[in-house]
Chain A
Amino acid sequence: MRRTGFVLVGLVVAAGLLSLLWAPFDPARVEPGGALLPPLRDGHLLGTDGLGRDVFSQVLVGARATLAVGVAAVLIASVLGVPLGVAAGMAGGWPSELVMRTTDLMLAFPALLLALVLAAAFGASAVTGIVAVGISSVPVFARVSRAATLQVMAQEYVTAARACGRRAPGVAVRHVLPNVAPVLLVQATVAFAIAVTAEAALSYLGLGVQAPTPSWGRMLHENQAYLFTNPELVCWPALAIGLTVLGFNLAGDVLADRLDPARRARP
């Protein structure tokens, strides 16, 4: 049960990696003659869509876009958010207030709106999608790392470190970051799951990954016309999205336990 999350995440990563080397068909190859084939016909494991493209290959290659967006968005969010949050938590006073009120402002701004604005300004692409999802996760990372930092700063080992000559940057690197890391890792997995859904939503709206690169969100969009005649076409990408999100959430919980040396000691 505890492995479920890692198995699901592993499957998605494996699918993405495998697709770099091999896929049964070119996911972008249109074959009007072989449209809407049922699963397992003519070597199409999951059948074909309305344009005759192999669904299994699309799901396989679509994992890449999902992973890329997730990793990039989490990187943007943590690189910007964690230093802000840790600095705010360590400094306290007005710098902390400034960071917190700014994140309030950012949280009030819907991620989807940001994506629309960026798409309108720079044109819809995978990059604007990544930036939008990344930026809108910054406040969450800043807040979580500030809260965790406050907890660490209240510990006597921080006072002990100051009393033996550590300055703020040393305290941050030696004591705050290592002790905040597990919380952030869990936050990263949650943010990853959110990024996956956001990417799917943006691609569904045509604001994310652009054709012909396959993406689960766009598959949802393209296949919704066949919702009543061939409902399984929508099910495959939806299942992929759902299991990926579930996988990252479950893996985050387990990681939180494993990274704590005190908890790791117990069986």
Chain B
Amino acid sequence: MSPRPVIQVREVVREYRRPRGSPFRPRPVVRALDGVSLAVRPGEAYGIVGESGSGKSTLSRLILGLDRPTSGRVEFDGRPVLEVPARELRSAVQPVFQDPRSSLDPRMRVGAIVAEPLEALRLPVDRAERVAEVLETVRLPAAAAGRYPHEFSGGQRQRIAIARALAPRPRVLVADEPTSALDVGVRAQIVNLLLDLLGRLELTLVLVSHDLALVRHVTERTAVLRGGRLVEEGPTRTVLVDPAEEYTARLIAATPTVSWGRR
């Protein structure tokens, strides 16, 4: 059978309380995720797609262990995420964020940013050496370590963010819209870098995006979320090319596509 999933989401519900509209009424509850289950196998690229508000970002926060589910649980390597020792989980599951302008501290030098996981987790490695190593992996010069994020372009900054994520040698990358804040011309570079890393470093990728073309290009399996519920899940080719659910079909139809040549 297939290997044990590295990430397993079981019947997860996450509710948020909105601020009170009136002091005499209870705070309204919003259900961001409503009984979602899915499994990500080691080494695969797994896509999570949906409109804004579908709960995909909430799900990525839960997978990263940055938030607790209201009920149900997220497991890493067969154990609940919140029970995995921080040092192990934090080095094994790393995020890549949407906007590298916001995800890199403007007051830290690139070297310190990339070394942050190593330092925060007190990993026993030569930090300078590892920083140079991962900068090379994302094809940035080692000299970048001494400079500040604002000295780099959007694409280069996203490379820095990816280098930080790679520093503690993670097994899983959770990328939440990793290209949508970038210029169109740079997107392909970042996507190719991610694909290259997946192959070279045997990484598992959870790609959260509303960009169906990106997900189709990168992932092997995909889950479709709508209003916090799982609509459809399966091989990307089936789900995003020949969907079983009407919602997915509409989502695909609603996406503007670039046509290469005349129809």
Contacts and interface: CB of A to CB of B under 8 A. Distances in A.
Contacts of B161: 160
Contacts of A179: 105-107
Q: How large is the interface on B (under 10, 10 to 19, 20 to 34, 35 or more residues)?
A: 20 to 34
Contact of A164 (B105, B121, B148): B121
A164 B94 contact: yes
Contact of B164 (A160, A166, A175, A178): A160
Contact of B66 (A155, A159, A261, A265): A159
A165 B91 contact: yes
B87 interface: yes
Given A159-B95, A164-B116, A164-B164, A175 B105 contact: yes
A169 to B, nearest CB: 11
Interface in A131-178: 155-157, 159-166, 170, 174-175, 178
Interface in B87-129: 87, 90-91, 93-95, 97-99, 102-108, 116-117, 120-121
Contacts of B20: none
A113 interface: no
B241 interface: no
Interface residues of A, number: 20
A105 to B, nearest CB: 20
Nearest to B65: A163
A163 B95 contact: yes
Most buried by A among B108, B151, B161: B108
B190 to A, nearest CB: 16
B29 interface: no
A124 B12 CA distance: 65
Contacts of B95: 159-160, 163
A190 to B, nearest CB: 22
B18 to A, nearest CB: 15
Interface in B147-162: 148, 150-151, 161
A121 interface: no
Nearest to B86: A165
B103 A157 contact: yes
A261 B103 contact: no
B42 interface: no
B79 to A, nearest CB: 17
Contact of B116 (A159, A161, A178): A161
B168 interface: yes
Contact of A157 (B87, B94, B105): B105
Given A156-B98, A262-B150, A265-B151, A163 B64 contact: yes
Contacts of A162: 66
Given A164-B121, A164-B168, A156 B103 contact: yes
Contacts of B121: 164-165
Contact of B120 (A156, A157, A166, A260): A166
Contact of A156 (B86, B99, B108, B151): B99
Interface in A245-262: 260-262
Interface in A225-267: 260-262, 265
B150 A157 contact: no
A160 B66 CA distance: 10
Interface in B189-227: none
B106 to A, nearest CB: 6
Contacts of B150: 261-262, 265
Nearest to B109: A261
B120 A170 contact: yes
22 contacts: A155-B102, A155-B105, A156-B102, A156-B103, A157-B105, A159-B103, A160-B164, A162-B66, A163-B93, A164-B116, A164-B168, A165-B86, A165-B90, A170-B120, A179-B105, A179-B106, A260-B106, A261-B106, A262-B106, A262-B150, A265-B148, A265-B150
Interface of A: 155-157, 159-166, 170, 174-175, 178-179, 260-262, 265
Given A165-B87, A178-B108, 13 more contacts: A157-B102, A159-B95, A160-B164, A163-B65, A163-B90, A163-B95, A164-B116, A166-B116, A174-B116, A175-B105, A178-B105, A179-B107, A261-B106
Interface of B: 64-66, 86-87, 90-91, 93-95, 97-99, 102-108, 116-117, 120-121, 148, 150-151, 161, 164, 168
Nearest 7 interchain pairs by C-beta? A164-B117, A165-B90, A156-B103, A165-B120, A262-B150, A156-B102, A165-B121
